[in-house]
Structure 1
Amino acid sequence: MAPQPGSSNGNAQSNTIPLANSLMGKLKPARIMKGAVEPPTPPTPGSYSQRATNSAPRHITGISFDDRGDQVITAGEDETFRLYNCKTGKHVKTLHSKKYGIDSPRFTHKNSAIIYASTKEDDTVRYHSLHDNKYLQYFKGHKGKVVSLEMSPVDDGFMSGSLDKTVRLWDLRSPTCRGLLTVPSNPIVAYDSTGVVFAVAVNNYSRILLYDQANFDKAPFLVITLEDPTLALISYPPRPIYMTSMSFSSNGKYLLVGCSGDAHYIMDAYEGHLLAKLVGHVGLERRSMSAPPSIEPMKGSSGEEVGWTPDSKYIVGGSLDGKILVWDMQSLPIRTGDVDLKTPPIRLQAMVTLDGHPGPSRCVKFNPRVAMMCTAGSELAFWLPDTTGDAEEIARELLKKR
């Protein structure tokens, strides 16, 4: 019998943050880091490159919290990764990866080490010590850029998805790939909260494949088709769906599929029903409000702008106009039986729209342990619930209770 996502208790962390509608509506930026990414080097005055540079500032393309929520690390288009202390909201250190670039930083289960994808030179995944700024291991094998990278929530395993149309399974303790899946198009990967199940989204085919971690060399136990019948009401042929991220809810029941364009989707992870369509944001693949939308976004434009809160009651997401949206997931419809691809999803507008992020919010993540959110674009913002008008004081009180 195939496992159900989230069916095992495993070692998944339980949520300890009592989030509520009123609290989510009171999130405000407590601190904004204006130097979170270096500006481009100024070119010759009056040149074409100068005009292009002025219209496209560098951005943070990835952020990751450690398991305890004490630290957050960012990766930027300036080929640096920066470490911040979540207790104090202060910058700790800046490290460089000028030769190889850096994207998709992910903390391992040690808060002193990360893995990340290269953006140039080669397609190696690197295991890096933040303590002494040294490489601990290289994971070679991909023949194309790694565009999806995730740590297992329960052990030292991790997965990488590449433009070479493969998914590789690794272990931090060995440089040799321990599993290889070949798919027909660019993959996006995700673990469920127990590490028992993982999912592979295959773009251009609108398929999501669910595998048993212990039997990944077998066929997927569930194949989900992401097809939105409401798109045909807007244009014909309907615009293709391009998936840029994927994440399970903490209980394993739902799958959030982040997409380029102006909609994200909630799928039932047990049977594959399309439940909800999240709308209200402006898709980030445009790069500017005046640019036309494209199907395949430039890497760094989309992929980390939407995610769950730790209790999976809410989804937080970014937008090209700088808005931060909060969608309420507590009343999703229940669907059972055979999947009907012609049944439209419910259309969910944001419960709350938050102002305060400077510029496009390209990365949005919620702290796994305290009521804190990070948003990133050309700058980095730390958000806290401000019930008294003094977000700094709220931060201190929350941290005392840990």
Structure 2
Amino acid sequence: MTEGQSTPQLASATQAPLRSQKVTETAPFYRPNKGFFPCKKEPSKFVTSLDFDDQGDYLVGAGNDESIHTYDVKEGKFNKTVASKKYGVHLARFTHHSRQVLHGSTKVDNNLRLLDLHNESYVRYFAGVGDQVTCLALSPASDAFVSCSKDDTVTIWDLNSRNPQGKLKVATPYLSAFDNSGAVIAIASQSTSVVLLYDFRNFDKAPFSTFDLAPWEERYTPSTRGRAWTRLEFSNDGKSLLLGTDYHGHYVLDAYEGTVKAFLAGKGGPSGRAAPVSTTGKPLGQGDACFSPDGRFVVGGNGDQPNMLMWDINQASEGDPLIQPTYKLPYSKPTAMVEWNPRYNMIASADKEIVFWVPEDSSKSSEK
């Protein structure tokens, strides 16, 4: 599968009949539909982040090739590349406007930058970040966003102002996530093995909940306790919280109680990415797992092995939350990161190649 290959366009996957199908009906049938190679000519270059806009119409990918690449989802085609050779780029995130992308810097300084894709010019810089940014989380309800940094700070920002709105000091707060209402923000402190929940309106107050993952790490990930956390994400219904790890598997927590609802085992090894902090020279990433829009499934990479994995959280029992992959989605290469489209039955994955996945006709798949 190569860029420009004659493959079905994704428009068929966004038409009303298929879009209205439940995830449970399409989950086993996702297959690679189209691939793009933004880093093909540079062996040491990789895609380091993926993000869909609010409507699911566009995908933005950033890479350590110091460029931003955008794609039209409905047409299934590459859109444009915007270079950021001077500052570098990581964690490219759409704002609530599909023509604006916020991203971190990897060179010169640690400032955040708001890019207008149409004009290919910067709208605003956000200065005052003390070290490399490890996570960017945008509020679904406003223009507020949060950055986490290697200097152990969490900073509150507003897209309309270049100055910080607030700052919090936490040990290794490398990951953060808003819930679907924008009222709650979770911060993962991997060195202390806790996830902290804050009322975003009273961010300067103590967290209202603290989830201690240490006992669960002793049970499921003892050799990597307090490290190798790669992803933090609320499910759309606000009931679950995904904590991804780099090697053994992923935790799905009850977002109210903090108990482990499921431990997703079965990965074939580490992803080969340093997420969110690189100490070994490995390329950065943003975690290789994410929720389905209905919150029932998690899709993720298979470590350094081919195929993608999908877990049905409902298969976990109260007595034993450990579950193996429900489905293996065939693919010939490893997957270092993955994002599920918020509006359409479509998944994007990446390593060196960005791949669009859509469900095949289930009747055709059963005949194979």
- The TM-score bracket by the shorter chain reads 0.7 to 0.9
Compute the displacement of 1:311 (Å): 1.2
For 1:368, the equivalent position in structure 2 comes to 342
Note if 1:152 corresponds to 2:155: no
For 1:245, the equivalent position in structure 2 comes to 231
For 1:193, the equivalent position in structure 2 comes to 180
CA distance in 1, matches of 2:169, 2:279: 21
Q: Is the 8 A contact 2:246 2:287 kept in 1?
A: no
- The correspondence for 2:251, drawn from 245, 265, 281, is 265
Q: Is the 8 A contact 2:144 2:159 kept in 1?
A: yes
CA distance in 2, matches of 1:130, 1:275: 40
Secondary structure in 2 aligned to 1:25?
helix
Counterpart of 2:185, as a letter, is F
Compute the displacement of 1:83 (Å): 0.7
Residues 238 and 312 from structure 1, CA distance in 2 versus in 1: closer, same or farther, beyond 3 angstroms? closer
**Aligned-pair identity (%):** 34
Counterpart of 1:216, as a letter, is F
CA distance in 1, matches of 2:298, 2:94: 21
Q: Is the 8 A contact 2:247 2:271 kept in 1?
A: yes
CA distance in 1, matches of 2:214, 2:61: 33
Residues 233 and 27 from structure 1, CA distance in 2 versus in 1: closer, same or farther, beyond 3 angstroms? closer
CA distance in 2, matches of 1:21, 1:222: 32
Note if 1:89 corresponds to 2:72: no
For 1:378, the equivalent position in structure 2 comes to 352
CA distance in 1, matches of 2:80, 2:220: 50
- The correspondence for 1:306, drawn from 278, 281, 289, is 289
Counterpart of 1:61, as a letter, is T
Residues 365 and 233 from structure 1, CA distance in 2 versus in 1: closer, same or farther, beyond 3 angstroms? closer
Q: Is the 8 A contact 1:37 1:60 kept in 2?
A: yes
CA distance in 2, matches of 1:181, 1:142: 12
Matches within 5 A, 1:48-67: 57-67=44-54
1:103-158 CA distance string (max 9 Å, x none): 11110000100101111211011111001001011111111100100111111111
For 1:327, the equivalent position in structure 2 comes to 311
For 2:31, the equivalent position in structure 1 comes to 28
Secondary structure in 2 aligned to 1:24?
helix
CA-atom RMSD, angstroms?
2.5
Compute the displacement of 1:214 (Å): 0.8
Residues 17 and 195 from structure 1, CA distance in 2 versus in 1: closer, same or farther, beyond 3 angstroms? farther
1:260-305 CA distance string (max 9 Å, x none): 21211011111211222111113435469xxxxx997766454331
CA distance in 2, matches of 1:190, 1:134: 28
CA distance in 1, matches of 2:219, 2:255: 24
For 2:301, the equivalent position in structure 1 comes to 318
Note if 1:18 corresponds to 2:21: yes
- The gaps in structure 1 that reach 5 residues or longer are 1-15, 41-52, 289-293, 335-343, 392-402
Counterpart of 2:45, as a letter, is R
Counterpart of 1:347, as a letter, is L
1:61-105 CA distance string (max 9 Å, x none): 101101111110100111111110001111111110111111111
Note if 1:161 corresponds to 2:148: yes
Compute the displacement of 1:242 (Å): 2.7
Counterpart of 1:381, as a letter, is V
Q: Is the 8 A contact 1:164 1:186 kept in 2?
A: no
- The correspondence for 2:260, drawn from 258, 274, 292, is 274
For 2:193, the equivalent position in structure 1 comes to 206
For 2:329, the equivalent position in structure 1 comes to 354
- TM-score, with length taken from structure 1: 0.80
Compute the displacement of 1:322 (Å): 2.8
Secondary structure in 1 aligned to 2:314?
coil
CA distance in 2, matches of 1:194, 1:257: 19
Counterpart of 1:311, as a letter, is D
Residues 168 and 155 from structure 1, CA distance in 2 versus in 1: closer, same or farther, beyond 3 angstroms? same
Note if 1:69 corresponds to 2:56: yes
CA distance in 1, matches of 2:221, 2:125: 46
CA distance in 2, matches of 1:296, 1:326: 29
Counterpart of 1:252, as a letter, is G
CA distance in 2, matches of 1:302, 1:161: 15
Compute the displacement of 1:231 (Å): 4.1
Residues 318 and 228 from structure 1, CA distance in 2 versus in 1: closer, same or farther, beyond 3 angstroms? farther
CA distance in 1, matches of 2:282, 2:256: 30
- TM-score, with length taken from structure 2: 0.87
For 1:10, the equivalent position in structure 2 comes to none
CA distance in 2, matches of 1:80, 1:182: 31
- The gaps in structure 2 that reach 5 residues or longer are 1-18
Q: Is the 8 A contact 1:153 1:194 kept in 2?
A: yes
Q: Is the 8 A contact 1:208 1:224 kept in 2?
A: yes
Counterpart of 2:290, as a letter, is G
Counterpart of 2:237, as a letter, is N
